[in-house]
Chain A
Amino acid sequence: MNRREFFKRSLTIAGSLLIARNSNASDQPLSVYSTQNKANKKNWEKFEELKKTNSQIDESYAVLVDITKCIGCRRCEWACNEWNKNPNRPVKEFEASKDEKPSVFDRVRRTHAGEFTVVNRFHSKNKPVYVKKQCMHCAEAACLNACFVDAFKKTPQGAVLYNPSLCVGCRYCMIACPFDIPAYEYYNALTPQITKCTMCFDRVTDGKVPACVESCTSDALIFGKRSEMLKLAYNTINKNPERYINHVYGEHEAGGTNWLYISQIPFEKLGFPELDKTPIPAHSKSFLFTVKVLEVVAAAPLVWGAYYMISKNRSKKEGKKDE
């Protein structure tokens, strides 16, 4: 998008706001209005391409986030925007927000159409705690199972990818995601799509690490094989048991995720949902099974009943005729 086009588009949006919009849209960040992201499509195409080559991956990758180490520089956000060609600003502005007042950190943010990852600030004993938020890449993803046109896929590398060329735009994946990750291009009237973090599938398959991990300035993000990351997580906890709670978030949550977190304070205080080991799709699977059984099993007696009724009617009519 060049500057002129951008100007034009923002004018359109502003214009439509004046006509029909109520107040709270104007203070929403620019990323809400972002449209036509190419990253999801690009990653999907790469995935399709790789499927043909039939490459073997023995184990999925994971990113370990050490919340105690994050310093809130937001360079991961910048790097993510840069790599995925999302609307971006100079990295200076990202870094400055840590000390600014007012700052973007004042509000707990979520991902949006033009923003695949956000860093939020929480407080524990008056000390800031920064928590990066992005797609968790669940082993059994809720979005994947929710999609009624099968537009999501879990890759062997661990990433959950989205295929915009199938999506109908029902936004059921957004309802299903327990982490509130998939975002939608609400400001695209004709070809809106879901956008979300791709775990930099295109980079990972080229032997690189995700953009955010590469840009992390404080060693808070570590990329590697999932089993190794789990080991590292428990090692870190055991080394300083006073400074960590004995819990790796994502090891079992919702059936396990490919992003793991360790923290010094309980995760529910950092905006993480309290999930048990059940994968989210498991909640609906038993129902689907029941419906199938009922429809197949119940269909037979109902059809029989109908047949019985018809034949009874007929015999009555015939009886009448006979009289």
Chain B
Amino acid sequence: MSNWFNEKILLGMNCREYISKHATLLNFMALIILCFSFYAMAYRLIYGLGPATNLSDTYPWGFWISFDILAGIALAAPGLTVGTVVYLFGAKDYKHFARPAILSSLLGYIFAVFALMFDLGRYYRVFYVIGWSWGLNSILFLIAWHFFLYIIICLIEWFPAFFEWLGIEKAKNFFSKLGIWATVFGVIIAGGHQSALGGLFLVAPTKIHPLWYSALLPLFFLVSALFAGISMVIIESTISHKVFRDQLKTFDRADFDNKTLGLAKALVIILFVYLILKVLDLTHYNNWHYLKSEYGYWYLLEVVGFVLAPALVLINSVKNKKVKLVRFTTFWVVTGVILNRFNVSLIAYNWYIPLQEKYYPTWMEIALSLGVVTLIVLFYRFIVRRMSILS
């Protein structure tokens, strides 16, 4: 048993070796973040939401929903985008990207739900929505079910790698065959709930600033999740190819760069689709006059500064084959998506109330979210080192 443990979990080292090998500065920082995060979790569980957060009756949803769920799920879309491209459209060239993408989706969703547990008042009742009482008219109900199904789908997609690691061939083959079906349903389900996250705010027409409120909110969320997903694929592959160089048996730099550029092309197209939709929306609701207000400038910053500008830079860099610039721009795009989620759910929400009554997070809310991000990174590293994800 201990032999198996040493082999599989500790990568052939014994405990002492393993710990001393991992005593790096970055790991130490992660440990500190986790300490604060666990303190925040415990504090939230013992004292409740009131003392731990700045949530109030005016702001029932705060940093956790905006960052962990809205932004987090959008950034966990690689599984949706790359899964579709590789498995459904048969773009085999991008198969490299598929397994890490699915893994990051799986971790993203599991930890989003994990973080959500701290936001729910009665987290222990969360299964009610699956099998106890159904609020069929609620968009949140749709999301809950889709999350539930999507995690199962991601698990099925990930199981081949998992069982390969455990060395159970039969199970691996079984889940490999299931994989394609899982992907099909994954696309439907993921598309459904990415848009539903935007749909959540359809019920607040008076509370969200008219520039952000639109019947097209679900579509905006879906499209922006698509480009967030592609950007995340590029970012992840960049980082993991740097960090896990040793994991790759054959690494063809030119080929990798080419594929990155290919993804960037798709990214540009989706960015422009999004922009066209935004202009359409502005015109349909005749909201142009709002652009002159302060919220309008902020809106312009989001749309021009974080969608149009990166799209133009991307066009240029794809033309001139500047891969590094592409990688940098994807960070830019992702920041834009996060900004958009914060705008819809926090800044444009309750837009009419004065500044001093606006919500801002406590340190505990931020620490908990940072901790969750750290956990995702650690788990990702843990799994990548042990299972054949990258190769």
Instruction: Please determine if A and B sit in direct contact within the complex, based on CB atoms under 8 angstroms apart.
Output: yes
Chain A residues packing against B (C-beta within 8 Å): 13, 16-17, 19-22, 25, 32-33, 110-113, 142, 145-151, 166-172, 174-176, 178, 180, 183-193, 273-275, 280-281, 283-288, 290-291, 294-295, 298-299, 302-303, 305-306, 309-310, 312
- Knowing A110-B58, A280-B203, A283-B215, the reply to whether A145 touches B138 (Cβ < 8 A) is yes
Q: Are A175 and B129 in contact (CB under 8 A)?
A: no
Q: By DSSP majority rule, is chain B's interface helix, strand, loop, or mixed? A: helix
Q: Are B60 and A32 in contact (CB under 8 A)?
A: no
Nearest-CB distance from A5 to chain B (Å)?
Answer: 17
- Residue pairs across A and B with CB atoms within 8 Å: the count is 203
Nearest-CB distance from B264 to chain A (Å)?
Answer: 25
Chain A residues near B317: list those with CB within 8 A. Answer: none
Nearest-CB distance from A208 to chain B (Å)?
Answer: 29
Count of chain B residues near A, Cβ 8 A: 69
- Knowing A16-B51, A151-B133, A295-B192, the reply to whether A303 touches B184 (Cβ < 8 A) is yes
Q: Could you say which of B52, B61, B188, B192 contacts A175, with CB atoms under 8 Å apart?
A: B61
- Knowing A186-B48, A189-B46, A291-B192, the reply to whether A284 touches B203 (Cβ < 8 A) is yes
Q: Are A20 and B364 in contact (CB under 8 A)?
A: yes
Q: Is B104 an interface residue (CB 8 A)?
A: no
Q: Is B13 an interface residue (CB 8 A)?
A: no
Q: Is B339 an interface residue (CB 8 A)?
A: no
A24 to B143: give the CA distance in the assembly, Å. 34
A58 to B83: give the CA distance in the assembly, Å. 56
Chain B residues near A295: list those with CB within 8 A. Answer: 188-189, 192
Nearest-CB distance from A297 to chain B (Å)?
Answer: 10
User: Which residue on chain B has the smallest CB distance to residue A178?
Assistant: B206
Nearest-CB distance from A196 to chain B (Å)?
Answer: 11
A280 to B206: give the CA distance in the assembly, Å. 10
A287 to B143: give the CA distance in the assembly, Å. 13
Give the contacts of B49-83 with A (CB-CB under 8 A).
49-58, 60-61
Q: Is B160 an interface residue (CB 8 A)?
A: no
Q: Are A20 and B203 in contact (CB under 8 A)?
A: no
Q: Are A20 and B51 in contact (CB under 8 A)?
A: yes
22 of the cross-chain contacts (CB-CB < 8 Å) are A13-B51, A32-B50, A146-B140, A148-B140, A149-B133, A150-B133, A166-B132, A168-B123, A170-B121, A171-B121, A176-B203, A183-B57, A186-B48, A188-B48, A189-B45, A190-B48, A274-B206, A287-B139, A287-B195, A287-B202, A291-B218, A309-B88
Chain B residues near A184: list those with CB within 8 A. Answer: 49, 57, 60, 121
Nearest-CB distance from A16 to chain B (Å)?
Answer: 4
Nearest-CB distance from B178 to chain A (Å)?
Answer: 11
Q: Is B141 an interface residue (CB 8 A)?
A: yes
Q: Are B88 and A291 in contact (CB under 8 A)?
A: no
Closest 9 CB pairs of A and B: A169-B121, A186-B50, A189-B48, A171-B60, A174-B60, A148-B141, A148-B140, A187-B50, A150-B135
Q: Are B57 and A110 in contact (CB under 8 A)?
A: yes
Nearest-CB distance from B271 to chain A (Å)?
Answer: 23
Q: Are B199 and A284 in contact (CB under 8 A)?
A: yes
A113 to B50: give the CA distance in the assembly, Å. 12
Chain B residues near A113: list those with CB within 8 A. Answer: 57
Nearest-CB distance from A227 to chain B (Å)?
Answer: 27
Q: Are A168 and B125 in contact (CB under 8 A)?
A: yes
User: Which residue on chain A has the smallest CB distance to residue B121?
Assistant: A169
Chain A residues near B218: list those with CB within 8 A. Answer: 287, 290-291
Among B138, B144, B185, B204, which residue has the most Cβ atoms of chain A within 10 A? B138
Q: Is B207 an interface residue (CB 8 A)?
A: yes
A275 to B215: give the CA distance in the assembly, Å. 16
Q: Are B88 and A148 in contact (CB under 8 A)?
A: no
Q: Are A280 and B205 in contact (CB under 8 A)?
A: yes
Q: Are B188 and A186 in contact (CB under 8 A)?
A: no
Nearest-CB distance from B281 to chain A (Å)?
Answer: 15
A153 to B183: give the CA distance in the assembly, Å. 38
A224 to B309: give the CA distance in the assembly, Å. 60
Q: A169-B122, A284-B137 are in contact. List 7 more A-B contacts (CB 8 A).
A: A32-B50, A145-B138, A146-B135, A175-B203, A189-B44, A284-B139, A291-B192
Nearest-CB distance from B333 to chain A (Å)?
Answer: 26
Q: Could you say which of B52, B129, B137, B362 contacts A168, with CB atoms under 8 Å apart?
A: B129
Q: Are A302 and B184 in contact (CB under 8 A)?
A: yes
- Knowing A306-B183, A309-B180, the reply to whether A172 touches B200 (Cβ < 8 A) is yes
- Knowing A148-B135, A171-B61, A287-B218, the reply to whether A20 touches B362 (Cβ < 8 A) is yes
Give the contacts of B2-24 with A (CB-CB under 8 A).
none
Q: Could you say which of B57, B61, B135 contacts A147, with CB atoms under 8 Å apart?
A: B135
A302 to B184: give the CA distance in the assembly, Å. 6
A110 to B357: give the CA distance in the assembly, Å. 13
Q: Are B138 and A172 in contact (CB under 8 A)?
A: yes
Chain B residues near A288: list those with CB within 8 A. Answer: 137, 139, 142, 199
Q: Is B43 an interface residue (CB 8 A)?
A: yes
Q: Is B382 an interface residue (CB 8 A)?
A: no
Q: Is B256 an interface residue (CB 8 A)?
A: no
Q: Are A305 and B128 in contact (CB under 8 A)?
A: no
Among A22, A111, A146, which residue has the most Cβ atoms of chain B within 10 A? A146
Q: Are A111 and B57 in contact (CB under 8 A)?
A: yes
Chain B residues near A145: list those with CB within 8 A. Answer: 135, 137-138, 203
Q: Is B196 an interface residue (CB 8 A)?
A: yes
Nearest-CB distance from B147 to chain A (Å)?
Answer: 11
- Knowing A168-B120, A172-B138, A283-B202, the reply to whether A186 touches B55 (Cβ < 8 A) is yes
User: Which residue on chain A has the smallest CB distance to residue B363?
Assistant: A20
Q: Are B60 and A168 in contact (CB under 8 A)?
A: no
User: Which residue on chain A has the smallest CB distance to residue B184?
Assistant: A306
- Knowing A32-B57, A192-B122, the reply to whether A20 touches B43 (Cβ < 8 A) is yes
A168 to B60: give the CA distance in the assembly, Å. 14
Nearest-CB distance from B66 to chain A (Å)?
Answer: 12
Q: Is B94 an interface residue (CB 8 A)?
A: no
User: Which residue on chain B has the smallest CB distance to residue A171?
Assistant: B60
Q: Are B206 and A275 in contact (CB under 8 A)?
A: yes
Chain A residues near B28: list those with CB within 8 A. Answer: none
Q: Are A192 and B49 in contact (CB under 8 A)?
A: yes
Chain A residues near B206: list those with CB within 8 A. Answer: 178, 273-275
Chain A residues near B188: list those with CB within 8 A. Answer: 295, 298-299, 302
Chain B residues near A190: list those with CB within 8 A. Answer: 48
A82 to B295: give the CA distance in the assembly, Å. 43
A189 to B201: give the CA distance in the assembly, Å. 27
Nearest-CB distance from B326 to chain A (Å)?
Answer: 29
